Structure 1
Amino acid sequence: MSNKTVPEIYTKTLKEIKIVGVRIQCADDQYAEKIPEAVKLITNRLHEFKHLVQPVKQIGVFKVNATQEEDGYWVGFEVSSFADVPMDMTTLIVPEQMYTVYQHIGSASEIFPTYDFIHQWSSKNGYKRQPNQWSMEIYSNWENPQQVDVLLCDPVKM
């Protein structure tokens, strides 16, 4: 029997978050290639970010049912102010929202099945997914795609 603990799944309301980073827009089958490129880019430029809240937490943001203006995947860091945004980077405000939260530790390629688990848990526990709201992936470890540590935050309401 293993002593490995199973991560807890829970709901939590997260405050508004200001993000500075890059926006990726591409065909769905290209995100697996483009996201790691963007991660590497902003990691190498971390010294250019001002007003960082937690430089050890990288954030990915997307909407499942995005409008054309919101389509894509944002990779960035939380900041307290949009002053002094690095050249060719973008800003995004994720408003306060309730989420189902689950810590995924392991391969980035296994995140999609983990989302299936989150969706089933949310439904079983009386929460309704909000695919028109921002989903967040808050990474504590992102440099090795075979061993990421990420809080998956799926927007829900009662």
Structure 2
Amino acid sequence: MPNHIRTENVLKEFGEIKLVGFRVLCEGDAYQKEIPKAAKELEERVNEIRYLVDTRQIGAFKVETQAAEEDGYWIGVPVSRFNDIPDGMVALTIPSHKYASFMHNGPKYDIGNSYQILHQWIAEHGLTRATNNWSLEFYQMEEISSEELRVELCDAVI
């Protein structure tokens, strides 16, 4: 069994999450290069962010966007409130929602397979992906820029 597969998928519910960090907006394949760059800059500048809850980086994106301002990928850290957002950074509020979760532990290039496993699990359990809601990816900061990563994939479900 490949090392990125875990057999226990779970349902989770998260309350509202406030993130401060960077929005990455580019063409399809460029995300693979631009997200790690933004993550590295966030790691270097995390000390500028006020009201930190945790330094763990969280990625957020919508599969289907309703508006241009929702397009892209956000990489940020959770904060308790927004105040004095550092220059060049943005704030994003993720509303409370329910998620199906799967742990990817392996090469970056193989994350698509982990998402396929997660999507299959969602369907097999009679759930529906909420593609117009935020999907989340929870990273360990020291692992996000390496070729191997450990990231919890959280796909919004109804």
With normalisation by structure 1, the TM-score equals: 0.91
Counterpart check, 1:155 vs 2:156:
yes
Structure 1 residues without counterparts, runs of 5 or longer: none
Q: Match of 1:50? A: 50
Q: Match of 2:18? A: 18
User: Match of 1:11, SS?
Assistant: strand
Provide the C-alpha distance between the structure 2 equivalents of 1:109 and 1:143, rounded to a whole number of angstroms.
Answer: 13
Contact 1:7 1:103 in 2 (8 A): no
Q: Which amino acid aligns with 1:106?
A: G
Q: Which amino acid aligns with 1:62?
A: F
Aligned-residue CA RMSD (Å):
1.8
Contact 1:63 1:133 in 2 (8 A): yes
**Superposed displacement of residue 108, structure 1:** 1.5
Distance 1:7 1:85, change over 3 A: farther
Q: Match of 1:59? A: 58
Q: Give the number of equivalent residue pairs.
A: 154
Provide the C-alpha distance between the structure 1 equivalents of 2:100 and 2:146, rounded to a whole number of angstroms.
Answer: 23
What aligned pairs does 1:1-158 form with structure 2 within 5 A after superposition?
A: 6=6, 8-55=8-55, 57-66=56-65, 67-140=67-140, 141-157=142-158
**Superposed displacement of residue 109, structure 1:** 1.3
Provide the C-alpha distance between the structure 2 equivalents of 1:94 and 1:143, rounded to a whole number of angstroms.
Answer: 21
Over 3 Å off, 4+ runs: none
**1:93-147 deviation per Cα after TM superposition (whole angstroms, max 9, x unaligned):** 0000100011111112111110010000000001100100000001025344322
**Superposed displacement of residue 54, structure 1:** 1.1
User: Match of 2:119, SS?
Assistant: helix
Higher helix share: 2
**1:33-74 deviation per Cα after TM superposition (whole angstroms, max 9, x unaligned):** 11111011111101111111111x100000000131200000
Identity %: 39
